[in-house]
Amino acid sequence: MTSRASNLSRRRLLYAMGALGAGTAAAAMTSGVAEAVTGTGATTAGLFTPPPGDGAVVPMRLHVPERMLDDLRRRLAMTRWPTEELVDDWSQGAPLWRVKRLVDHWQRHYDWRRVEALLNGFGQYRTVIDGVSIHFLHARSPHRDAMPIMLTHGWPGSILEFRKVIRRLTHPTEFGGSARDAFHVVTPSLPGFGFSDQPDDVGWGRVRTAKAWAKIMPRLGYDHYLSQGGDWGAAVNVQLGVLRPKGLLGIHVNFPQIVPPDLDPKRLTPEERVAMNQLNTQQQNEIGYQLQMMTRPQTVSYSLADSPVGQAAWIYEKFGVWTDSDKNPESVLTLDEMLDDITLYWLTNTAESAARF
């Protein structure tokens, strides 16, 4: 199957997962997908209606066909496990016993429908920019003077990174804040991630994505906004700041990507030396995944696309290393929270397209 044909097939599947109105649902049905969901997609408390004009914004409601969840459980039950690591730490990768515990929970107790209800409750939409359909959440604040803000995720994250902050941003008075603290929140899925399309041509990196992001907020009727991001989201936001599109008031990143070229270790404070040592350790021991995805994303994706356990271990290791949990990710994230992100990658089959970004 060609890359373009594969992407067309995937788009039909996405339409089945989240029908974009009755017309699209019918089209998905005729293309052989039997469990398309009808309806226009509920918005958050009816607070947002897409504005008329160019660049249509279409409501989406998510429902994954049950057969896909059955297939996932079947694959998990048929897992062929590797032998156990030869060390007592994470230096050879995610420990076998930890991954087995995660997978057992995935197979026996995990509930994807809970995630669907969560995402549908925020209000989901799609809009086509530069030939790629971009999926995003749009949660409006009830406070009329709320500031619009766009939040962008990274890898191996997704829009689910923001699930716990969206309500706090849109309804700050419920959490001890004031109406002046309120935001209208937009969280797009990067191209090739989640329910956004997988681009069928090269070049969709941070610059092209920033140009696409500059079109999202005006399409929603916002004439001014802020933008925030971490990881790849930070890279996109830096480029967005360089572009300075009309209406952008400022950017914020929680992953600064600049190191002074003439940094003198002798002039560092003790705290800065600790940070520099951590950075050096990370560069020496924790970037193997990055080199593989940068240079051979196609090769690594054969195992990630075919094996849910392979996909789970690939992401779970990063939860272990990147969560400030002393290699005990369950102390800061629940198994369900980690599996929500992993399952999103699995169901959308985006390991390869996310690696290519």
Mean predicted lDDT score pLDDT of the chain? 87
Confidence class for position 79, pLDDT limits 50, 70, 90: very high
182: tokens are 């309120």
pLDDT in tens, 9-46: 444 444 444 433 333 332 332 222 222 232 333 333 33
- Give me the pLDDT at residue 280, please: 86
DSSP secondary structure letters along 288-330:
HHHHHHHH-HHHHHHHHHH-HHHHHHHHHHHHHHHSSSSS-GG
Closest CA to 320 of 335, 302, 306: 335
95: tokens are 């420990």
Confidence class for position 51, pLDDT limits 50, 70, 90: low
Amino acid, res. 235: A
Confidence class for position 258, pLDDT limits 50, 70, 90: confident
- Give me the pLDDT at residue 276, please: 86
Spell out the long-range contacts of 19-26 with Cβ–Cβ below 8 A and sequence spacing 24 or more. 19/60, 19/61, 19/63, 20/58, 20/59, 20/60, 20/126, 21/58, 21/59
Name the range with the highest mean pLDDT among 36-50, 52-66, 107-121: 107-121
Question: Which of 25-34, 137-146, 197-206 bottoms out in mean pLDDT, i.e. has the lowest?
Answer: 25-34
Closest CA to 204 of 134, 301, 296, 153: 134
Assess whether pLDDT exceeds 70 at residue 4: no
Query: Which CATH number is associated with domain 3-258+296-356?
Result: 3.40.50.1820
List beta partners, residue 248.
225
Assess whether pLDDT exceeds 90 at residue 88: yes
Higher pLDDT, 229 or 52: 229
pTM of this structure: 0.85
pLDDT in tens, 147-190: 999 999 999 999 999 999 999 999 999 999 999 999 999 999 99
